[in-house]
Amino acid sequence: MSRRARPALPGVFRTLAGQFGPQHWWPAQTPFEVMVGAVLTQNTAWGNVEQAIANLRARDKLDAGAIVRARHDHLAGWLRPSGYFNIKARRLKNFCRWYLASGSYETLQALDTHALRAALLSVNGIGYETADDILLYAFGRPVFVIDAYTRRLYGRLGLFAGDEPYDELRLATEAALGRDVGALNEFHALIVRHAKEHCRVRPACGGCALRQRCPSVLPQP
DNA sequence: ACCCAGGGTCATA
DNA sequence: TATGACCATGGG
């Protein structure tokens, strides 16, 4: 007979939104700080990223020009708490060089989303997820961010296998939720919140608003 | 001590 | 296209 119900994405979104409320993403003071954070948080816990950003701020280096001009070993030293510091120093410089060469935030904001996405992806060190973080949270574009939590959640809810190509999951989510920047912003933040603050404590999620449909999004053994 | 984290690139087949 | 190695700190 019918197997376990497959909740549609809007329902999952409403359920998580009802349980956790507004997430107020992205935690940053300026769009440029969002962009820096997006690079530094690659495969890294956010708390570590905050320390690295604090180091930059303390030295007045939260600035594209200052980052481009900084010595590699100095920049790597400030980024140390966020891990992969040599690679991230190079990626951050790549990004800042591109950002300065692109003119200004307003210049980039004038591009259509497809062109801006392609431009971001042309930077060595900016992949799909980082590009979409920047598009959504720094430029307010209606794109959805697919991360490892999202793949596990979709897979374990039975909505997808979870290992589909990045854009397949992104486009499916955008189609399901609509081109609503606020909703796309909140949904990604809620998936992260659900993963790290709820399922980590109770893998079975007995107290989660998703109820019996709530899967653990911890990695499988 | 082990596992994971708000990934991406590059070499290889 | 699809794996695997590599990058590295910090918290649970």
pLDDT along chain A (221 residues), means of 10: 67 90 97 98 97 98 98 98 98 98 97 98 98 98 96 88 95 97 98 77 51 57 49
What kind of fold does domain A31-137 have according to CATH?
A: Endonuclease III; domain 1 (1.10.340)
pLDDT, residue A204, reads: 46
First-residue to last-residue Cα distance in chain A: 30
Domain positions in chain A are 9-23+145-213, 31-137
Q: What per-residue confidence (pLDDT) applies to A202?
A: 46
Q: How far is the CA of A109 from the C1' of B9 (A)?
A: 28
Determine the pLDDT at residue A156: 82
Q: Assess whether A98 (CB) lies less than 7 A from strand B.
A: no
Note the strand C nucleotides within 7 A of protein beta carbons: 2, 7-12
